Every structure is written in C-alpha cells, then in structure tokens.
C-alpha cells in the first residue's frame, strides 16, 4: 500500500519538490473536471490524511488547488499564519495554540497525523502547489443548529472557498461526504449533497479494518477497532459508483489503518 510519507517536523528546512505517488484510477476522478473533490473519512487514522495529501499532490499537477479541512472557522487566522511561516519550532508552537488542538473530545482532527497533514500542506503552499488552506467547520452559530442548518453552513463555506479555475479538495467526516439523504431519522441532506452535483465528486475512504483514534461519547476517546467492510480485499485505488449512489466512489486504502494519537498542544 503506497502513501506519501509524512515530513519531519523538528525544524524548518528548504522546500523540496513534491513527488506524487500514483493512485490507481485517480484520472477517473479528475477527468470529470469537478469543482469540488470531497474525501470522507473516519477521523483518527494515520493513513487517510497521508492518502489525502497524495490526492492533493496529484490534482495540483492539473489545476490550482484550494484545500478545505473540517476545522473551526475561528482558526482560519492561525492556519493562514502557519501556511505563510517557515514551519520552524516557533511557528509550530504558535500554531499549536489554535482552538483545534484544545477541544476536550479528541476525535482525530487534533491528531499527530493531522499536524503532519498541515505541515505537508504548508510545504505545498510554499512550493506554489496549493492556493490556500480553508477551515469550514462553522463556528459562528449563536444557538445550536439543526443538522440541516449545520450541513448547509458547511456547504456555503465550501462554495465561498471556490476560486476561478481551481479545484477544492475537501477532507471531512464521511457522513458529511454523503450525496444522498442520511438513512436515519430525522432525515437531512449532508454537506456534499448540497454542493452543485454535476461539479462534485465525493469519495468514501475505505480501509480493511484496523483502528482509529476517535470518540464514542465524551468519556470514551481512544483507539477503536474498525470493521472490515471489504472482505474481497480491494486493492489501493479508486472505484467509481453509479450516479445515484451515496458516494460518487470509494477510495480503497488497500489495507488496515492505524490509530493516530492526539497531538500534544502548547497551552
């Protein structure tokens, strides 16, 4: 199973050219010339953020890319500052003061793997491969939104993030990545289903078991085993689905995931 290796985070180093590894059938995704490519995940693995970085790298060869991550919009200034930094120890320390690293529930989006994801994106930004990194988890609601209101707010932020002649690459929880109504009550349409359908490709990242660091309630955050939904042992690559399917396709990881522990944050 091939993934883009994570970069060392100990000190600022010169930006080296990115080498993308091929994702079998990725050409079927970019060949649709989508405005938005959404990858849905189970938060808390090492492998999915790495695979996402590689998908961004491949897509940036064809089109300028805006990266959108499921992080609080209130942290946008901290993200911008880190992207424009040298990535050194001082920049890392300042970035680790952002809200995303300090939530009580560690659902995987404050993991070591996510910090490495940001560092990889910083290097890509410095190399001119991506135009911007955007947070799109709404953080301005004054009262508790309904699921539909929350999903619409996420979609609105992604629509606003789109720039002329760019591809918006989105990493988000896999429920938000559904194109069809959720199969439970109350029924609502997730974020990906609220983006322009003809301009959106939504993929569900699927592992063959393994583990992820996430929360099953406020008091049960930690590494949890994942089921293996692909007993036929699908190889690494993209499988496209029917037009009316819940997702446009599946990004098969080709093996199990490993849990990524929370990133130690500076108070």
Percent of all residues in the chain with a pLDDT value above 70, rounded to a whole number = 90
- How many other β-carbons are positioned within 10 Å of the β-carbon of residue 81? 13
C-alpha–C-alpha distance, residues 201 and 218, integer Å: 33
Q: Which residue has the higher pLDDT, 183 or 227?
A: 183
Q: Number of C-alpha atoms within 13 angstroms, CB side, residue 36?
A: 30
Strands 36-41, 200-206: pairing kind: parallel
Angle between helices 76-83 and 112-126 (to 10 degrees): 60
C-alpha–C-alpha distance, residues 111 and 214, integer Å: 10
Whose CA is closest to 220, among 109, 112, 107, 114? 107
pLDDT in tens, 200-254: 999 999 999 999 998 887 678 889 998 877 666 678 999 999 999 999 999 999 9
- 16-20, 125-129, 262-266: least confident range: 16-20
pLDDT in tens, 64-113: 999 999 999 999 999 999 999 999 999 999 999 999 999 888 888 999 99
Helix/strand/coil for 187:
coil
* pLDDT for the residue numbered 191: 98
C-alpha–C-alpha distance, residues 178 and 202, integer Å: 7
C-alpha–C-alpha distance, residues 190 and 193, integer Å: 6
Helix/strand/coil for 6:
coil
Average pLDDT on 147-153 reads 97
* pLDDT for the residue numbered 230: 63
- Strand ranges inside 179-232, DSSP E: 200-206, 211-215, 221-225
* pLDDT for the residue numbered 221: 85
Q: Is the pLDDT of residue 5 over 60?
A: no
Question: pLDDT grade, residue 265 (50/70/90)?
Answer: low
CATH tag for 26-252 (out of 1.20.120, 3.40.50, 2.40.50, 1.10.1300) = 3.40.50
C-alpha–C-alpha distance, residues 137 and 172, integer Å: 9
Percent of all residues in the chain with a pLDDT value above 90, rounded to a whole number = 78
- The dihedrals phi and psi of 257, each to the nearest 5 degrees, come to -100, 165
Measured in whole angstroms, the distance separating CA 199 from the mean position of its chain's CA atoms is 18
| Extents of the domains making up the chain | 26-252
C-alpha–C-alpha distance, residues 161 and 71, integer Å: 14
- Strand ranges inside 73-110, DSSP E: none
Note the maximum CA span of the chain.
51
Average pLDDT on 189-203 reads 97
What is the residue-averaged pLDDT of the chain?
A: 90
Average pLDDT on 33-49 reads 96
Q: Is the pLDDT of residue 4 over 80?
A: no
* pLDDT for the residue numbered 10: 31
């Amino acid at each position: 199973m091939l993934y883009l290796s994570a970069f060392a985070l100990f000190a600022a180093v010169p930006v080296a050219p990115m080498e993308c590894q091929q994702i079998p059938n990725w050409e079927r995704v970019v060949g649709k010339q989508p405005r938005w490519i959404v990858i849905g995940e189970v938060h808390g693995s090492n492998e999915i953020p790495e695979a996402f970085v590689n998908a961004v790298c491949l897509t940036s060869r064809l089109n300028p890319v805006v990266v959108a991550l499921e992080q609080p919009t209130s942290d946008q200034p901290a993200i911008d500052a880190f992207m424009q930094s040298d990535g050194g120890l001082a920049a890392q320390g300042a970035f680790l003061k952002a809200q995303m690293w300090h939530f009580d529930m560690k659902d995987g989006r404050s993991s070591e793997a996510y910090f490495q994801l940001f560092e990889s994106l910083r290097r890509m930004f410095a190399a001119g491969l991506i135009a911007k990194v955007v947070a799109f988890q709404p953080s301005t609601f004054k009262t508790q939104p309904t699921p539909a209101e929350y999903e619409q707010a996420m979609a609105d932020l992604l629509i606003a993030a789109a720039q002329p002649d760019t591809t918006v690459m989105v990493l988000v929880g896999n429920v938000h990545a559904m194109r069809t109504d959720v199969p439970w009550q109350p029924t609502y349409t997730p974020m990906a289903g609220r983006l322009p359908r003809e301009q959106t490709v939504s993929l569900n990242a699927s592992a063959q078991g393994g583990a992820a660091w996430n929360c099953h309630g406020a008091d049960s955050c930690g590494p949890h085993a994942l089921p293996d939904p692909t007993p036929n042992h699908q190889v690494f690559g993209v499988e496209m689905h029917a037009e009316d399917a819940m997702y446009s396709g599946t990004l098969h990881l080709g093996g199990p995931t490993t849990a990524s522990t929370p990133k130690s944050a500076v108070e």
